[in-house]
Amino acid sequence: MATGPSEWPMSWRIIILLNVSFYNMMGNVFAAGVPPLFSLLIEDLHCSTNQAAHLTTYALLMLGLANLWAVPIVEYLGKRYTILISMTVFLIANIWAATSQTYSSLLGTRFLGGISGGVIEALGPIIVSECFLEKQLASAMVVYVGFLAAGSAIGPIVAGGIASGLHNWRWFFIISSIAIGVNLVTSILMLPSTEYAGDNGYPANDEVQETKVMGTPRDTQCEIELTENEPESPKKISNLYSIPPKLWLPWQIGFLNFGALVGLLIGLPVGGVVADLLSRRAMKSNGQHDPRSRLPLVLLGALLSPTGCVIIGVSLQKNLNWAGTSVGWGLLSFGLTASANILLTYAVDCHLHRAMDIGVLVNVIKNTIGFGVSYAAINWYDKSGGEAQYGAMAGILWATYLLVIPLYFFRDSLKKFSARWFTDDGA
């Protein structure tokens, strides 16, 4: 009998994971990498600062909306062909961007690139859950989430270097096109379809897990309350640094993201390997698998990510050295990266056969919120200042982290509620 994806050779599963994760990263490189190029774009395309900022905000919005059309297309074409087609369109958008001669043309590439590049965000969680068993799930998911977050940091760093060294914004999209082209070729050669009709190590119906997961059906155990904790959304206020009164140079804007990158690299093992260790330890102690066993680690994110927001706000308000802002981004990135992976793993672990729906829900809401924050960031900063703006963000983060408490302590009540409203048959 044929084996399922979770029983394929580990090398093959790692190739699949790296392919989809790299594609996911490039979508965020595309969206987040533009701010260091603003001065060059304004000079070359004769656009205003707000128009330049919209190149980031609309790409972010399209990344979220792309999730909505990914699901119905997968039903007809399958995951492999959906990914390959969207990756081809994404490549075309980047080539188009590199050759754009007007602001309107470049803006059009942001819509096309976002609506194609965001498709993988909906498919990533289900591909990971199909290929890796629950004991490996958080470690595999952290690679996916890590590439997602890395794109938001690597994009501005590369763009800042290009703007300072080559003084030509088109090279950013040329390099991106090369990377996406290589990704497309490797995906054509090595990315199989993970659809499988047989037993892949998980039950076809979540309800059969009633006696295996702490006596609670997977499908009724947890709610999806993690959308605000994805690691990328707050970064889009990076538009502020290149406009008056800051007028930071492109390399300074790019270097801001080194702090975020360090936070990301530290947060990845915490949200992945350490979370899996907690899960295995709880299983040995209780004799049963409980997705909640990873949740205590979210406390680190609850402490550090809002603190990072406060540091960023004070640094901007007091016009401190850019390094202070970078430290704040590092704390914020660490907290959000670790927390996002833990909560996404928790959601997928509870709803294995709803992983694609979880991806759609999380990414649409996350990117829509990110678009709103990004769109209003400059006016908000001008009106309220850095301390008030980032202080409000810190308060929102703390309030959001409080929502994790019901997931851990009020499982029985959530079980009864979700059994009424969120069962597979819609009862």
Q: Which residues contact 105 (CB under 8 A, 6 or more apart)?
A: 96
Q: Which residue stretches of the chain have pLDDT < 50?
A: 1-2, 196-236, 238, 424-427
pLDDT in tens, 362-391: 777 777 777 777 777 777 877 888 889 889
Residue 44: the pLDDT is 94
Helices 322-350 and 275-286, packing angle to 10 deg: 40
User: CA–CA separation, 252 vs 229, rounded Å?
Assistant: 26
Which pLDDT score is estimated for 78?
87
Residues 266 and 128: beta-carbon distance below 8 Å: no
Q: Tell me, what DSSP letter sits at residue 423?
A: S
Q: Which stretch of DSSP H or E encloses residue 382?
A: helix 355-401
| pLDDT score recorded for residue 394 | 92
Longest pairwise C-alpha distance within the chain: 66
**DSSP H/E element including 343:** helix 322-350
| pTM, full prediction | 0.66
pLDDT at 109: 96
Question: 117: part of which helix (H) or strand (E)?
Answer: helix 103-117
Give the chain's radius of gyration (CA, Å): 21
CA 242 centroid distance within chain: 24
Task: Give the tens place of pLDDT for each residue, 103-124.
Answer: 999 999 999 999 999 888 878 8
CATH topology of domain 9-191+209-421: Growth Hormone; Chain: A; (1.20.1250)
Pair of tokens at residue 154:
């690597």
CB 21 within 8 A of CB 83: no
From CA 36, how far away is CA 52, in angstroms rounded? Answer: 11
Main-chain phi, psi angles of 49, to 5 degrees: -65, -45
**What are the distances in angstroms from CA 199 to CA 1, 3, 130, 209?**
10, 7, 11, 15
Cα separation, 34 vs 152, whole angstroms: 10
- Residue 30 has a pLDDT of 94
pLDDT of residue 25: 92
Whole-number Å distance between alpha carbons of 16 and 120: 12
- Residues, the chain, total? 427
Query: Residues 119, 120, 121, CA angle at the centre, nearest 5°?
Result: 90
Q: What is the pLDDT of residue 363?
A: 72
Check residue 271 and give its pLDDT.
73
